[in-house]
Every structure is written in structure tokens, then in C-alpha cells.
Chain A
Amino acid sequence: MSGPRLAVDTATTLRFAQLVALMVVSTGATILEARNLLGGNLPRQNCYRAAGVNAEIDTTANSADSWSRNADAIAACLEQYPAPSMWLAAAWIGLLLAATFLLFKAMPKWKARRGRYVPLELVPGGQAARERIEELAEALELGDVRKLTVVVDPVAATESAVMFGSNRRPRMRMHRGLLDARSAKPDTFDAVVLHELAHLKNRDLTITFLVIAMWRVFVWLVLVPYLVLRTDLFLDSVRYYSWATNLIGINLKNIAATGVLAVLVYLSRTEVLRVREIRADQTARSRPDVWPATAAQGEPGRWERLLSIWRVHPDWNTRRASLERPESIRRIRPFALALIGLATVIMLYRLQFAFTEIPWPLVPALLTAALIGAVAASAILGVYITQAVTLNDAAPGTGAAAGFWFGLGMVLGLPFVDGLFSFTRLPPHPEFALALVATTVLFGWWLSETARQWTGAGVSAPRLAVIVALSLPVLTILLVAWRYWSGFFNGLYVFYDTDYLYTQWGDIVESNGGDADGFAVKALYLVSPALMATAGPLLFAMITLMWAAAAVPRIVPPLRRRFEPLPSGLKPAIAGAAVGLAGIVTIRLVLGRFDFTHAADLYSIERSMYSWSSMAALFAGAIVAAIAANTGLSRLRLLNTLVSVYLAIWGGFAGFLLLTATDGCLGPMNVYETDCGWRTGFAWPELSMSFNLLVVGALVLAAVTAASGAAIRFALHRFARRSQRPVLYFHQSGRRDRPAVPVAIALVLALAVCFTGWREQHYLDMLLTSTADPGILEGSVEREGERPPELVAEQVRAWLDGGGLDLLERFADDLTIMDDATAAYVSTPEDERTLDQLNAVPEACDRMTATVLDADDYFEIPDTALQQMWSDFLDNVWDRAVTCADEFQTVIDGGDGETWATAVRELREETIPEYKTLTESISAVFA
């Protein structure tokens, strides 16, 4: 099988696989969600509600705030109620698969049932038709088709046929009109039969009908029940929670998301089937002597074109065009890519939901979900982009366009799946979602150039596999980074404009003696998004992979003959590294004049000045390298820029390390040390912010420079009216590098890899071991206004049900015991009083201290005023009850008992009224 054909078949098969995976994942996630909605996880949900964490109804800020204040209590509560097992999801997925299998087996029998269809052999002329079918199968090199069952639909007068069944047990249903055409129009008969046999040859049957069977089962077993449940909840929310606008929005969003999922699967299915149809035409046409392609019809109208996306069959013009120009099938189709993007984003979020239901730690669960989503997407995109860019006349920018449409599909899907969006609420900065499009454009561009570089000598299965394998980690990290940015831990588009961040910077600066509202805070606040975005785990690994893959042919000379070489040599990189190094030397000369020798602290401002300015110098070098790499070339522009920029940065960085390690031996360039020596003590956090900005920023720099270069080149070509396209195919480079060049590149790469490993280890350790501040985890602590009274009532009720009522009753009981015992003692004539009568009092006080401790471990009341009262009440009870419990011994021992008596009097005269006021205030919430 030739390369392009292989690519087309692989792409459509993978898309079928993505649909199957999407349906399976959605089934699992939907059933878990339904379980939660139906109260199957109520105790754990109440743990959140009682703490005032109610993100669906409440504002994000309030939920985040409550979460951060009750994190320990929530954890303790969740521990009390272990997560329900996942058997329900597993069983439902099993049911889906079993039902799919049964339907898949039943469909062929139904479609060929007696009484409606007649075996070909029983129809007049059937025997001759059967013989012709066998001749055509032989012409198509299909082998033995005796196992092919053919039935005739005597009613259908059209000249058509249809294949169904499985690849192992294929069946064909021939329309009566086609059978009649065998003698009158033998060409038509042959064309149709060959097209159908081509489906068999392309092994379309099993996968197509498996997906169709699963789709039907999915609709009835998952989508419809879920829709009914959600609609019911929506009506409930309108009826009983009309004040909770966001709850209504979320219910509406989920109903819409179900519709989107249904439309998406349907459209993807028809889209893939259309490609399979065209492929069948082409396979049939591979025998032009017997496939005359007579099938040209009229031009489709506008509505017809619009409707065509819903239909399984491509229109006749497309079919004809694909026969005249078979490679057209490999072009980038925006619609298909947007659908893939939409499917990817839905899958990503559904996976994330399902994985967070598993009792795993949060971070590994989310990472695993992102990884699975990315595996599916990168395999499909990898094959798509590779097949598109290997076209002879592939337009420049094909890969970037593919990335754009894919990213656009993802962004369009976000409002339906991301919890921060609903029809009644948007995140403060939804425009940050467009960063996703920028990253996928970069990915598409990079992948297209990599594919072009690696397939310069033609597409083959192993090369395709290598390209897909390369794209997998890159896309995975991009998607993980995206989740990281968009709300994973430090939601970018929520977090960006929060007061919280500003205050945090203010505190840091103020603790160092600066102005909490000064220029430094404002500057740090402005670059915060960049600092947060570049601090993502694995970003260096991704970047290193992106440019190292392009540099490999340079390091391994035998590969150069089989790869499209990068057009520019090492000069831009050398120039960039030289500029960077010159900058660092100058900085050292300047800093050497100041007396920084006392700056032993690695985190001191003096050390920071050196690292920040050095990284700025390296960035300046990177700019030089990027511009130099973009002068006068048109091929593999991005890869070329990336390689030049990163060789310059890491080359310069090697010099930076050398100069830093030999500080003290450098004469006027000494900054911190006076003794000559070799110092490799190095702290990552000291360098992290500036170095993250440098390396990740250089990726943006390379992309922007290459895009500008391409735009300028394009404009110049337009201006000069030179219409010839640059030749994109394989160029044999006559040049040979000097032996030192591969070694030098390999050394720089080795440094990059080592440092990347070091950096990523640090970030992964941090990510997997640190317990994130729950407030930050939630993404926002912005104050968005008071909770509505109805919500307060809901949450306070949950607080009472979850254990608050129990605490109040314990206090009530003990206060009553204490009060009664004391009252009885007081009402007893003095000569009859004994201390035994009071024994119950210290016991009750002791129990009250225990109750106060339990209350401290329990949630705060999700209402500011009530919580203040409750907190004061607990403080007072604690003081009085401790005295009451401890001082009783002094009374027994014959002391004056004044302290004890005062505590008991206060408990009776102040605490009991306080208790009553508290309970009345709590009751007032429900009024």
C-alpha cells in the first residue's frame, strides 16, 4: 500500500477509533454524573455543601474561600465517606459494549431479512449477475468472494447497492434497478458493484457498522436517559432554585452539551464515511478498464451543499473531482479538523471528570486524563497533517491552518464543557481561551514542517509512525499546559485580574521593605500571567523535543541523506550565542564594580540582578539568531528558527554556567567571589522565573519571528508578482559539515537535555508532592458579592445535617445538665447541700470542652455573621467550661471556689442566653 493511501485510511480509522473512545468515555462520565445527580454520592457531596463549597450555585470566589477555610474539615469528612466504587461506570460501559456487539450481530440479519429481500440466486438473471460480481472481484484482486452473500431488494428501482455485515461475513444488497441495468447498462452495473467491492477491499465494513451500532446504543442507553434526567433537573432548578441563576445556566449548558455531543458524533461519522466513499471510488477506479466513472450529475445548490455535511455520501462533484485529482482527498478540511478539536476537548473534560471521581490524588488523575485525551488527538492530527503536507502542491501554512481549525474547534467546545463557563456566567477573562488557538497553530505549524522534513523522501508506514510518535508528547504537554493554565491549578483567565494576586505581590515586596502599591508590585502583577504560564511542568521537555527532532539529521550525518535539510547553517546560532555571551560579559564587568561579595544568599536581590540581566542578554542573542535565521529562506522556516534560537540560547547558557562557576578567577569580571575556584552550587528557584521566561519566551519569539518572516516574504512575492511557489520537496544537500559541527551541536543538545531533566524533575516533584492551597486550586478568590439568602439557607441546612445540629444538641444537653444540677443545689436548704449534688456540673463542663474541640474540627458556618457568633460562642464556652471542669477539684479540696463559681455563673447567665441567641439566629436563616 502506498504512503498517501495508507495515510488516508489510517486517518479515517483513527477517527472512528476516536468516536468509539469518545462514546465509551462519555458513557462512563455520564453515568457517574447521573449517579451524583441522583444522590448516589450524597454524603460526600454534603461534605462540600456543609462547608459552603457549592460551586454550581455559588460564586467561584465564595466557594474557593469556603474551601480554603475548611480544607481540613472537608478532607476529614471525605475520609469518613469513602468514594463510591466505580463498578457502576464499568457495568454501564460493559452494557454499552455488549449491546453494541449484539446490535452489530443483529443488523446484517435485519438488513437482509427474508420477506423483504430475496437471495440473488432466486431472482431472474441473478446467476449471471453473480458470475459478473465474481469476475469484478477478481479484477479488483479481492480474492474469493464466495462468502459474500448477495440479496436483492425487488422494490428499489434505483441503480444502486449497499454493503453491510462485517469484513469476515460481508453482505451486499443490490437494488432491483441495478440488476435490471446489468444487460441494458453494463458500465453502470460494473461501476456500482466495483464501488461496493472496494468497500470490502478497503475493509470498511466492520469498523463502519461497529461505530453505527455503538452510536445507536449510545443514543438510547446514554444520551436519552441523561437528557431526561438533566431536563428534569433543569425544571426543578427553575421551579425551586430560581434565585440560583448559575444552576439554571449549568443545567442548560449540560443539556446543550449533550446535543453538541450527539451532533458531533453524527457529523464526524458522516464525514468519515464520505471519505471512505471517495476512497472506495478511487479503489474501484484503480481498475480503469472496468470502472468507467460515468457518474457525473448536476451542480449542487447552496442548500444542497449545506445539507451535504449531514449525508453519508459526498456529492457527485466531489466524487468526480476526487477521481480526476486523487490527492485532493488528502487536503486539510477545516470542518473535519474543527470536529476533531471539538471531540478532543469534550473527551478531555469528560475524562477529567471521570478520573477525578476515581479516588486518586487529584494531580495524577488530571495528568492521566490529559494524557489519554492527547494520545487520541495527536494520533489523528499527526496523520492528518502529514498526509496534507506531503501533497505536491500543499500551500504554505497548511499545517498552521490545520492547527488553527483544530484549536478553533477546541475553543468552540470549551463553553459546553468547562465548568468556568455557563450560559449565565463567564470567567472574568474568557479571551484567554484564544491562547489555545495560538498553541494549536504553533503545534500544527511545527508538526507540518517536521512531517515535511521527515518525509522528504516519501511517506512510509515507519516514518508516519515516527512523526505521530513525535507529535504525541508535544501535543500532550501542550494540552496539559493548557489545562494547567486554564484552571488546573492557577487558572489563568480567572486568576489574572484578581485582587488576591496583587495583594500577594504587595505582601512580598512590603516584607522586603518596598511599597506595597509601588511600581515593582504593578510590574510583577503585569508579568504574572507570563510567569505563571511559563512555570508549567514539562514545558522545557516539549521545547527541547521540538527543536532537537529537527537537529537530529545534523547530528547523525547518515540521516542527512534521507531528510530534508534545514536551509540555514549554524551562523545565526553562533551569532546569537556570541551576542548573548558578550552581553553577559558586559553585565559581569558592570556588576563587578559594585561590591556584591557579601551576597552569599542565593535568593538575594544582588544575585537576582545577575541572573535576570544575564537571561535578558541571552534573550537578546536569541532575537539576533531568530532574525538571522529568517533572512532569505522559505523552507522549514519554523524549524530552522527554532534550531537557531535554541542553539544560541543553550550555547550562550553554557558560557553563562562556565562564567558563573569560575566566579573569582575572572579578574574584573568577578561579581560575588574573590577566591578562585570551581563552584557548581546552583539553586533552581533562584534562576527559575527568569530562565522559564527565557526558554518559553524564546518559543514565542521563534514563532512570531518565523511568522513575520513568512508574512514579509509573502508580501514581497505578491509585490513582485512572482507567482511560482517555493519547491517544497526533497532537496539533496551537497554540503558536508566539518566533523566538529555534529559534535558541537550534540554537546549543546546534551546540555539542554541535562538541564531540562533537572528542571522538570524539580517541577514534577513539586507538582506531585505539594498540597496546593485549596483557594488557589479553585482558581479564584475574587469577591463576587454576597451569597443569596436562599443559598445560605441551603448551606446552613447542610451544615446542621452534617454534624452542626449534633454539636448544638450536645451543648444544649450539657448546659441543661449543668444548669439543672446547679439550680437543684441552690434550691436545696443550705444545711442539706452536699458537693455530690454538683458532681454532674464539672462532668458536663468536661464534655463541653470536648464538644468545642470537635466543633473546631468541623466546618465553619457558611455565613459570615453566624460564623462570627458561633466562633465567639465557642471561645466563651471553652474558657468557662475549662475553668468549670478544672477548678471543681479546688472546691472539693476546701478552697473558696470563687473562680469555679464565677465560671459556672457565667455559663448559666451568659452562655445559655448566648446559645439561645445563636440558635435563634440560625433558625432565622430559614425564615
Chain B
Amino acid sequence: MAEDHGTLWEVVRDVVAEVAPGELDYVEGLRLIDDRTVTRAMRRRRGRNEPLGFGSTDLVLLATPIVWVVVEHLVTRGTDTLIDRLAKGVRSRFGKRQADRRVPRQDLRRIARLRRQVEVEARRRGLSEEEAAAIAEALLQRLELKDERTGPPER
């Protein structure tokens, strides 16, 4: 068994390919820039009001931001100290490309929390419960986590 699930980008691409193949082109483009820049943009909820821009148009993305934010959490959670995060933040802000970050293998105990995170992100972006469940399912599958319980998720 491999030590990890691959890079952050690879995991997101695979999950998006499963639940929203239309967004694959977009995900492809994300490979060109730094992960942290992508994360910051994914967390931003409304577009910037740029002078001499065309103005706001419809946001067409649905699944990618949700998957990215949740998976990115798995990458950074508990592994970066505050200093690491500050340094990386500064580095990404000034355009230094970071090495691709990899998604570590996950414990089965994280299943419920992952589901919850997907649900929260999906609700925030206006997706239905079914869509959230589908995304969560695809993500768990990619992370090779099988949910064998039948009861309600633990709180």
C-alpha cells in the first residue's frame, strides 16, 4: 500500500472526475499555480470588484471548491506549525511555487468528520443534500475509506 493518496491536486481531480466531469478542464488549469493560492481563492466567497473589469458574471463551479477545501484541510491539518503556515503564506503571496503537497493516508475515524465538512461546505455554496452526499461518497472512495456503519454519523 502506498504511503499516501497522491498530491492534493490529483485527489481533487479524481473526485471531480467522478462527480462533476464538466469541471475537469478547470481543475486541469489549477495545476499551473500554487496550491495555497488556489486554496485562498476557493475559500473566497464573492468575486472582487475590479476596476475596468467586465463585472460579475455567474459562477459556474460547484464541486471543485468543496472538494479542494476539504482535501486541503487533510493536507495541512496538524502537520504545519504556525510558523510554517506564515512562511508558506508569504512565499505563495510573493509567487514562489511550492512543492506539490501530498495527501496522507487517513484513519477510518475521520469518515464522519469528512462527511460533515463536505456537508457544511456544500450547504454554504447552496448545494442540495443529495449532491453533498454524492461528493462525500466519491471523496471517501478516493481516500479508500469505507463507511461500514449504518447508524447516524457520530457527533
Taking beta carbons and an 8 Å cutoff, which residues of A are in contact with B?
A: 113-118, 122-124, 152, 154-164, 176-177, 179-180, 188, 192, 195-196, 199, 204-205, 208-209, 212, 273, 276-277, 280, 295, 311-314, 316, 319
A273 and B30 contact, Cβ closer than 8 Å, known pairs A115-B37, A155-B42: no
A115 and B47 contact, Cβ closer than 8 Å, known pairs A180-B25, A273-B52: no
Binding site of B, secondary structure by majority: helix, strand, loop or mixed? loop
A123 and B32 contact, Cβ closer than 8 Å, known pairs A116-B95, A159-B58, A176-B26: yes
State which of B26, B41, B57, B94 has its C-beta within 8 Å of the C-beta of A160. B57
Q: How far is the CA of A199 from the CA of B29 in the complex (A)?
A: 27
A115 touches B30 (CB 8 A): no
Inside 8 A of A152's CB, which chain B residues have their CB? 29
Check: B83 CB closer than 8 A to any chain A CB: no
B95 touches A113 (CB 8 A): yes
A161 touches B30 (CB 8 A): no
Check: B17 CB closer than 8 A to any chain A CB: no
Q: How far is the CA of A208 from the CA of B58 in the complex (A)?
A: 26
State which of A117, A154, A312 has its C-beta within 8 Å of the C-beta of B30. A154
Inside 8 A of B41's CB, which chain A residues have their CB? 155-156
A160 and B55 contact, Cβ closer than 8 Å, known pairs A117-B33, A155-B33: yes
Map CB proximity to A onto B54-84 as digits: 1 under 8 Å, 0 otherwise. 1111111100100000000000000000000
Check: B49 CB closer than 8 A to any chain A CB: yes
B54 touches A195 (CB 8 A): yes
> Can you list 11 A-B pairs, Cβ within 8 angstroms, ordered by A?
A155-B41, A158-B58, A159-B58, A160-B53, A177-B61, A192-B57, A208-B52, A273-B52, A276-B52, A277-B55, A319-B55
A154-B26, A204-B52 are known contacts; what are 6 more A-B pairs with Cβ within 8 Å? A115-B92, A117-B33, A157-B26, A176-B29, A177-B59, A312-B50
Q: How far is the CA of A196 from the CA of B51 in the complex (A)?
A: 11
Q: B21 to nearest A CB, angstroms? A: 13
A311 touches B49 (CB 8 A): yes
Q: How far is the CA of A195 from the CA of B55 in the complex (A)?
A: 10
Query: Which size bracket describes the interface of B in this complex?
Result: 20 to 34
Check: B96 CB closer than 8 A to any chain A CB: yes
A155 and B54 contact, Cβ closer than 8 Å, known pairs A115-B95, A124-B28, A312-B49: no
A163 touches B58 (CB 8 A): no
Q: A860 to nearest B CB, angstroms? A: 59
B26 touches A180 (CB 8 A): yes
Q: How far is the CA of A164 from the CA of B47 in the complex (A)?
A: 17
Q: A367 to nearest B CB, angstroms? A: 38
> What 6 pairs across the A-B complex have the smallest Cβ distances?
A115-B95, A162-B53, A155-B41, A154-B29, A313-B55, A157-B61
Q: How far is the CA of A314 from the CA of B59 in the complex (A)?
A: 19
Q: B26 to nearest A CB, angstroms? A: 6
Which residues in chain B, 5-58, are within 8 Å of chain A measured between CB atoms? 25-26, 28-30, 32-34, 37-38, 41-42, 47, 49-58
Inside 8 A of A180's CB, which chain B residues have their CB? 25-26
- Give the interface centre of B38, B55, B64, B96 by most chain A CB atoms within 10 Å: B55
* CB-CB nearest in chain B for A122: B32
Check: B97 CB closer than 8 A to any chain A CB: yes
* CB-CB nearest in chain B for A313: B55
Q: A268 to nearest B CB, angstroms? A: 13
Q: A693 to nearest B CB, angstroms? A: 52
A115 touches B59 (CB 8 A): no
- Give the interface centre of A155, A161, A176, A195 by most chain B CB atoms within 10 Å: A155
Q: A103 to nearest B CB, angstroms? A: 14
Q: How far is the CA of A199 from the CA of B53 in the complex (A)?
A: 9
Q: How far is the CA of A154 from the CA of B25 in the complex (A)?
A: 10
Inside 8 A of B30's CB, which chain A residues have their CB? 154-155
State which of B32, B50, B92 has its C-beta within 8 Å of the C-beta of A154. B32
Inside 8 A of B29's CB, which chain A residues have their CB? 118, 123-124, 152, 154, 176, 179
B42 touches A162 (CB 8 A): no
Q: B28 to nearest A CB, angstroms? A: 7
Q: How far is the CA of A155 from the CA of B32 in the complex (A)?
A: 10
- Give the interface centre of B49, B51, B56 by most chain A CB atoms within 10 Å: B51
